[in-house]
Amino acid sequence: MSVITLGLSGPALAQGWIGRGAKPEADRAATEQPGLLSKIRIDQKLDEQVPLDLPFVDEHGRAVTLGQYFGTRPVVLALVYYECPMLCTQVLNGLTSVLTVLKFDAGREFDVVAVSFDPGETAGLARDKKRNYLGRYGRPGTDAGWHFLTGKQTAIDRLTDAVGFRYAYDEKTDQYAHAATIIVLTPQGRVSRYFYGIEYAPRDLRLGLVEASENRIGSVVDQALLLCYHYDPSEGKYGVAIINVIRLIGLLTIAGVGVFIVAALRRERRQAHA
């Protein structure tokens, strides 16, 4: 398990404190609490099984279990709270933006599951968020691929612990401090990839979904890219795998030489019979 500490790096986390109508002075007060901020991090738990029996409530007010959204497709998990006007909104905006670029469709190649880590939020808030982001996504027939859940603290704690999402609530400011990340899970509910920040590279998310699906989605081009790129957990992104690129170039060179030799031999034979 690797630990990614995002507590004091950049403005994104600080924006996570500006929630529930908080004033700027509340943000300054939060940054003066290093003890609280030290709790904010991502403990990477790659290949960890998420408990699928967790009870939640969907955007329609229906009782559901997390496992209802698994089984056939990879899942993009967003841990947010719906009344957060800053960081959580930016995470969902960034996720929606990158999904509009991908040719994969929600509900067909993958599902999006947003879970509020505020136990006081309601299905009505979840319904409003879903309506908003479905409109932003703008692809007809994908309603069944977006899910916005709320739940009790026990279920929230088990889920956030399973994926290593460490956040904190400050009673004095009535705000949550948390990191910005989306998490890709396999169809079986295992943690596959973490992507950090509020903007996500289309290539990274696409490759993450392809790998999480065990190559059940994607194209031959994706398979070739996965030979050249590997996931770096410390960065939360895909980078060039130099060794694999060299090997691929070597194989292509050998193949090219082989094709040249075969073509040359055939040409010589034709000339000999002429």
Domain CATH for 59: 3.40.30.10
Quote the number of domains for the chain.
1
Least Cα distance to 205 among 189, 218, 216, 224 occurs for 218
For the segment 118-140, the average pLDDT, to the nearest whole number, is 97
Q: Is residue 130 part of a domain?
A: yes
What letter represents residue 42's amino acid? I
Query: What does DSSP assign to residue 48?
Result: P
Asked if the structure places residue 7 within a domain, the reply is yes
pLDDT of 91 over the 70 cut: yes
CB 102 within 8 A of CB 139: no
Residue 215 lies in a domain: no
pTM recorded for the entire structure: 0.77
Q: Tell me, yes or no, whether 18 lies in a domain.
A: yes
- The answer to whether residue 43 scores a pLDDT higher than 70 is yes
Q: Could you tell me if residue 38 is inside a domain?
A: yes
Q: Which residues of 66-94 are buried (b: 16+ CB within 10 A; e: fewer)?
A: beebbeebbbbbbbbbbbbebbbbbbbeb
Rounded to an integer, the average pLDDT of 63-89 is: 95
Average pLDDT over residues 103-112: 97
Q: Tell me whether residue 232 is in a domain.
A: no
| Listed range (8-22, 23-37, 45-59, 142-156) with the worst mean pLDDT | 8-22
Phi/psi of residue 191, each to 5°? -70, 125
Domain that holds residue 64: 3-206
Given a cut of 80, is residue 196 above it in pLDDT? yes
Query: What are the distances in angstroms from CA 14 to CA 7, 27, 30, 44, 55?
Result: 8, 7, 8, 21, 31
Lowest mean pLDDT among 11-25, 104-118, 170-184, 187-201: 11-25
